[in-house]
Structure 1
């Protein structure tokens, strides 16, 4: 059976995924400093970070339209999967579902399934990779859905950012009670709940101690690490990503390790210096 996997642009694609005909990106858009930036292969992270730094206004994002997803579903492939960032953080999931409904009204029934990642960034990447793995094993459409949904439930997301301002100003920290004293250089260690909302797991003074704390949090919950892929994304700070990777590899063995630079939407929310870990 032929298949296609559509990943909204909050999820980074590896070079192998970009080269594969099975993957497609549904681009979100960013507004900053009076400019509208499409989060696609033309995205320039360095230029974007300069714009954000110079702008007094907080950047904002908009999700792909239902029509964009509908066009993605209109293809020769018999099965189509969409992977979106957490439905609690964006309208991308609802847009993908509505796009599926519009497609069926217009063109009839087709095997289309939308996965709510309950994560973001490399969390979406790992889910897309899992879908491909299941498809390449020749599983039925229903088997792929069941296995990948179970995988999403087991997945854990962690991150440390230099600043939470963009998340806060865009209303993505609803329910996070702790107020971090930035004047004291306190860096929170954040995570995703099972529902896909953001929570605070701990904090430390300074980015380096916060990354150590992040690793502690990962190890605390980690099970069956030899069967899992460790994925790390970073916004303009590969050395930090490698530092986290090395600390984790000292304490656990993984099936594989993937390190990716954040794309547009992830760069917007992670901000310069942010590190995201999903396993």
Structure 2
């Protein structure tokens, strides 16, 4: 059986990885005040980041249209889609509507709610590609990946909290206090795709130590497993974290990837995300 993989643009794969893994990307939209941007290959990310820093009004995003998903799902292959957490975006709902429309015309589709974003979606895409390449059938693939989603852990640290405050995901006063005290909250998925606060850190060394600690506290085995680190203009911290993880754990692969548009908007400059 032949399969297609579709992911929304919060899945921060590089162009090379997307081509290698044969993944079709469906773009989300971003807004800075009244100005709209499409999160695709035409996006000038450095320019977007500059405009975002200068924006004093609302910053937001919008999911892809169901029609974009429908068009991606059409054809003779079975399609698998991986979306950003349904509790963070309506991309998952749009994909389900697109699935229904495509299946009315004979398509075969399954949509995965990653209950994560960015690094988490990349990790799921890697596992999905591996299951397909190893010859697993549709039911086995769905069961295996849905099970992994329930166990996957996603954590992130933001240097700048402005966009979380602007989008109402963090209390304004709390954000100002944390920024003033130079405290970096270590946030992550609560297991159902919502953002939760786990601990906080000061300085790079403490950020690395506490992110690394989350793996031990999770009780997850690391031998033979993969971990993904995404970052927004922060390769130095990403590499230091990777080296710390190599010293403490037995991950088979550690992949570092730069964030694209939508993830850069929410992670903001210097943000870092980790999923395992």
1:73 counterpart residue number: 73
User: Is contact 1:228-1:255 (8 Å) kept?
Assistant: yes
Q: State whether structure 2 residue 259 is matched by structure 1 residue 265.
A: no
Which region of structure 1 is more displaced relative to structure 2, 89-98 or 35-44? 35-44
- How big is each residue's C-alpha offset from its partner over 1:209-261, in whole Å with a ceiling of 9 and x where there is no partner? 23322222233215220121110000011001101111111111111010000
Is 1:231 matched with 2:193?
A: no
Choose the corresponding residue for 2:164, options 155, 167, 171. Answer: 167
Contact 1:111 1:141 in 2 (8 A): no
Q: Is the 8 A contact 1:5 1:23 kept in 2?
A: yes
Q: Provide closer, same or farther for how the CA distance between residues 33 and 169 of structure 1 changes in structure 2, counting only shifts above 3 A.
A: closer
The match for 1:119 is: 116
CA positional deviation for 1:138: 1.2
Measured in 2, the distance between the counterparts of 1:115 and 1:168 equals 28
TM-score, with structure 2 as normaliser:
0.93
State the Cα distance separating 1:28 from its structure 2 match.
Answer: 0.3
Aligned equivalents of 2:57 and 2:189: distance in 1? 26
Q: Distance in 2 between matches of 1:236 and 1:47?
A: 13
Note the residue ranges of structure 1 that are not aligned, 5 or more in a row. Answer: none
| In 2, Cα distance between equivalents of 1:113 and 1:229 | 24
> Shift of residue 125 of structure 1?
0.9
SS at match of 1:225: coil
Alignment partner, residue 37 of structure 1 = 37
The two structures have a TM-score, normalised by structure 1, of 0.92
What is the SS of the residue equivalent to 2:223? helix
Going from structure 1 to structure 2, the CA distance change for 1:173 and 1:88 (only over 3 Å counts) comes to: farther
Equivalent residue, structure 1, for 2:17: 17
In the TM superposition, residue 83 of structure 1 has moved relative to its aligned partner by 0.3
Please say if residues 33 and 52 of structure 1, whose CA atoms lie closer than 8 Å, have aligned partners that are also in contact.
no
Give the corresponding residue for 2:89. Answer: 90
Kept in 1, the 8 Å contact 2:103–2:109? The answer is no
Over the residues paired in the alignment, what is the CA RMSD in angstroms? 1.9
Number of residues of Structure 1 aligned to a counterpart in Structure 2: 274
Report the alpha carbon displacement of residue 45 of structure 1 after superposing the two structures with TM. 2.3
Q: Provide the C-alpha distance between the structure 2 equivalents of 1:74 and 1:251, rounded to a whole number of angstroms.
A: 45
Whether the 8 Å contact between 1:5 and 1:80 is mirrored in structure 2 is yes
Separation in structure 2 between the aligned mates of residue 194 and residue 123 of structure 1, nearest angstrom: 12
